[in-house]
Structure 1
Amino acid sequence: MSVKTFKIWYLTHKWTSLICTAFMLLLCITGLPLIFHHEIEHLLGDAIEAPALPAGTPLTSLDRVVAAAQQAMPDDKPLFVSWDPDEPELVFVSAAKTATETQDFRFVALDARTAHILKTDSSDQLDFMRVMFRLHVDLFAGLPGMLFLGFMGLLFVVAIITGVAVYGPLMRKLDFGTVRKQRSTRIKWLDLHNMLGIVTLVWALVVGGTGVINTWADLIFKYWQHDQLAQMVAPYAGQPVPQNLGSLQAAVETAHRTVPGSTPRFVAFPGTNFSSPHHYAVFMRGDTPLTSRLLQPVLVDAVTAELTDTRKLPWYAATLLVSQPLHFGDYGGLPLQVIWALLDIVTIVVLGSGLYLWLARRRSNPVEQRIAELEREAAVTPALATRSAAE
């Protein structure tokens, strides 16, 4: 690698790291409790649990569930019905003043067997986990905040790649993993920064890359709405919006018959962004480790409960859905969560040490000293070659 090329890699690594470090520290710190969000909710007493009933107690009708939820939220319109993948006896109904609201909404958690209300809550009631989640996802700034964090994530990925390019020439005279403890504090932290950074390289790229993809979630599903969803509901264009909706239970049963061997993950009511004014959109998930992360929308006529259309999600939406559990490490149980947490802590050390190296910089920057050495080597080598030829 020429001296000029090394300088370009080094300066790119330096400035992309400086720009994104503070925000990446925030994301790593807020992401740590999110890895264990189920466990923390149980510890804080915020977890929702259905009461124990005799084994084999059948589920009640979804129409009864929605009716109970509407009694608890009489001034709101139902938006979604969703299920906890790990606890099928829990069902959640969210509602808002208008069908297109996504930020300010209320939800009711119910027992899917009895339609008894277990908890009512609102999106504007902030507890510890919600604050961590909103800071991690959008900085309480909605879509602009998500896109801003996505840009910071891109800079983080660039910083990782350029850091690898800088690592080789910088550390070529030292054994892998060397930390020069006898040198100054700054040199020790530089060695530690380089060693931990290269060890966590793959994990940081995976989590950073999937994090960037997740920040595009709203844009990806908006494109899906204008692409596939628009094609699926085209036959209903110009028809009046139904005033009275049919049975939600019948719509879900239609989806079960259409996609056998799957279960509903959530249902979008007519008029929401995930459906049309004329349809229940039932999003079905598979029963394997991979297909359980993927969704297949089934559009069912909201009046007659007849099938309108169903299509597998396109590659861009499937990529988003697969990246989400990979980002938080929640597809391999507690052991993988612990590994993700440990790697997250190491990344915090890498980011913090990089910030320290910048704040404690001096004129005798070790990297810049290495650049000077390379320049001297580049100047000496041609001279030696000329001298040898003359002799």
Structure 2
Amino acid sequence: MDAATPPETRIEPANRPSIWPKVSPAFVRTVLSGHSGLGLVAAALIYIVCLSGTVAVFLNELKMWEEPAAPTMTTASPQAVQAFAEAITKAHPKAGFVYMGLPTPDMPRLYAMVGEQVFVADAQGRIAGEASAPWAGFLEHLHIYLHLPETIGLIVVGLVGAALTGLIVSGFLAHPKIFRDAFAFRWAGAKRLSQADLHNRLSVWGAPFHLVVAWTGAYIGLASVLLFAVAGVTTKGDIAKVTAPIYGVVPKADPTPAPFPDLVKALAWFDGKPQFEPTLISLTGLGTKGQLVEVNALMPKRLIYAERFTFDAQGRMTGKLGLSDDGLGKQVFASSYPLHFGSFGGLPVKIAYGLLGVALCVVTSSGVTIWLTRRRDRGRPAVRLEKAWAAVVWGSTTTLALSAALWLAFKTPPVWVFWAPLAVLVAAAVATRDARFWIVNLRIATSATLAATVAIHALKFGAPALGGVALGVNLTLLVLAAVIAPWRKPLTRETA
């Protein structure tokens, strides 16, 4: 072959035999349809992870909303913490681990987690009752694991984060003028153009946030794979040795009875140290010689989620994990969680994360819609995919709201209420009507379900639902119901 001959001038033999077997056009169409379907599945997972993550930014507020009558407090005395820990241990003597949360601005409760149960205390440290929040737990599990087995789910969500990172970067590379046109918007003209502008503008304005949550999501999810790989190479599969520098050492169990640890003295160690704010106490094997007391302390001027200190039974500080100053790797690890979940900077940061999360959902949704519209404009419409995508986008919002309403009303397991109706909606959309029908009616259903959720919450809890954090959440749900409702008839393709 003459390498100097320009490719466009080469003449191939007219009947040159192909090394590939001949396949029918119908088979090719089927394969392409399957390829597009797989792409839609990936986009659907990205959208559901983004949607659930946007709501999960307000996870603590939702926990307060789910149990609004539980006692609240701005601070808890060390004596109350000690009394509460002893009361919990007495009530649950076989609990291997107890996690105690101290009051913070976004979770103003003294609470203890024992397995799946959450108990709250009054100001004296007495157990005031249970305040578990199963629906908030469902939402958290949906975002982090997609309700898959935890290791598999974490990896899948990590891959979703990696895919989203790649889409963000490739989107910028594919649009070299995207920054120059950052404020250009074609309100008039074809609907496809205005939708493309909305997609591109939100992509530019939210780019720093989108990249941060995407790569931290990938990092958090796929770090588990890396840890297992490192363990296999360096410690013969002992994952505990690999994770010890970032999670701490799990003590060996020793059931020999021992005095209960002095939490009052342990908390007194933080007096006069304003750079540390104790927020979480991890108690292992209480009342035995194998007991371990660990205190997580926020550092308001640092991005890490906390520094961790260990104390002995007499309340003496015996060690520090070093998340704040022991190498760059630890600090990056400890900072990835606050960056991903927006758990720094208080409510203003959460609101910003919520709004930018909505923008990311819109970018994800419109990106697929633009691709489907271009196919239609080129004479290759993917009608079933259009309908399926409409059902995924608005069906997931409907079933997410429905899961909250039915959990409040009847304690219906939210996992089934979310996934089963969503699968039915997608199947029904593919089989019947057009995409516009599903968009309009599912928006109506979402709006009505959000309003119904507020009504159910108010009827169930009465006055506590109309004050504090619960009132803020309910008002937000009503605003979302009003915004989502289709106030005008969507444009038809002929007039778009």
Aligned to 2:280: 266
- State which of 126, 131, 144 in structure 1 corresponds to 2:138: 131
Which structure 2 residues correspond to residues 205-216 of structure 1 after superposition, within 5 A? 205-215=211-221
Residues 91 and 218 from structure 1, CA distance in 2 versus in 1: closer, same or farther, beyond 3 angstroms?
Answer: farther
Count residues with an aligned counterpart: 328
Report if the CA contact (8 A) 1:293-1:322 is conserved: yes
**CA displacement, residues 222-264 of structure 1 (integer Å, 9 cap, x when unaligned):** 9895158489999x99x882411332225x6257548961343
Residues 311 and 341 from structure 1, CA distance in 2 versus in 1: closer, same or farther, beyond 3 angstroms?
Answer: closer
Fraction of identical pairs, as percent: 20
Aligned to 1:226: 241
**CA displacement, residues 85-136 of structure 1 (integer Å, 9 cap, x when unaligned):** 338984333334xxxxxxxx3232223x4122123255xx722x22222211
Which structure 2 residues correspond to residues 287-298 of structure 1 after superposition, within 5 A? 288-290=300-302, 293-298=305-310
Residues 84 and 75 from structure 1, CA distance in 2 versus in 1: closer, same or farther, beyond 3 angstroms?
Answer: same
Aligned to 1:168: 176
2-side partners of 1:233 and 1:130: how far apart? 25
Q: CA deviation at 1:137?
A: 1.5
Which structure 2 residues correspond to residues 1-391 of structure 1 after superposition, within 5 A? 20-46=42-68, 48-50=70-72, 58-60=77-79, 62-73=81-92, 76-86=95-105, 90-96=109-115, 105-111=116-122, 113-121=123-131, 126-127=134-135, 129-141=136-148, 142-168=150-176, 175-181=181-187, 183-215=189-221, 225-227=240-242, 229=244, 241-249=254-262, 253-254=265-266, 256-257=268-269, 261=273, 262-270=276-284, 278-286=290-298, 288-290=300-302, 293-298=305-310, 300-302=311-313, 308-313=318-323, 314=326, 315-362=328-375
Report if the CA contact (8 A) 2:227-2:242 is conserved: no
**CA displacement, residues 39-59 of structure 1 (integer Å, 9 cap, x when unaligned):** 44455543643379xxx9954
1-side partners of 2:159 and 2:246: how far apart? 32
Residues 306 and 60 from structure 1, CA distance in 2 versus in 1: closer, same or farther, beyond 3 angstroms?
Answer: closer
Residues 333 and 221 from structure 1, CA distance in 2 versus in 1: closer, same or farther, beyond 3 angstroms?
Answer: farther
Letter in 1 for 2:297: R
Report if the CA contact (8 A) 2:101-2:279 is conserved: yes
Letter in 2 for 1:296: R
Q: Higher strand share goes to which structure?
A: 1
Q: Which has the higher contact order (CA 8 A, sep 6+)?
A: 1
Aligned to 1:4: none
1-side partners of 2:117 and 2:296: how far apart? 23
Residues 216 and 107 from structure 1, CA distance in 2 versus in 1: closer, same or farther, beyond 3 angstroms?
Answer: farther
Name whichever of 196-205 and 286-295 sits farther off. 286-295
2-side partners of 1:58 and 1:182: how far apart? 62
Poorly superposed stretches of 4+, deviation over 6 Å: 14-17, 217-224, 230-234
Letter in 2 for 1:248: P
**SS of aligned partner of 2:281:** strand
Name whichever of 131-140 and 309-318 sits farther off. 309-318
Q: CA deviation at 1:30?
A: 1.6
What RMSD over aligned residues (CA atoms) do the two structures have, in Å?
4.3
**CA displacement, residues 31-88 of structure 1 (integer Å, 9 cap, x when unaligned):** 2332334444455543643379xxx995426443223213443554443333233389
Name whichever of 174-183 and 313-322 sits farther off. 174-183
Report if the CA contact (8 A) 2:261-2:312 is conserved: no
**SS of aligned partner of 2:284:** coil
Q: CA deviation at 1:295?
A: 1.2
2-side partners of 1:114 and 1:177: how far apart? 57
Task: Name structure 2 gaps, 5 residues minimum.
Answer: 1-35, 232-238, 380-496
Q: CA deviation at 1:22?
A: 1.5
Task: Name structure 1 gaps, 5 residues minimum.
Answer: 1-13, 97-104, 367-391
Q: CA deviation at 1:200?
A: 1.6
TM-score by length of 2: 0.55
Name whichever of 205-214 and 223-232 sits farther off. 223-232
**SS of aligned partner of 1:361:** helix
Report if the CA contact (8 A) 2:82-2:125 is conserved: no
**SS of aligned partner of 1:349:** helix
Q: CA deviation at 1:285?
A: 1.4
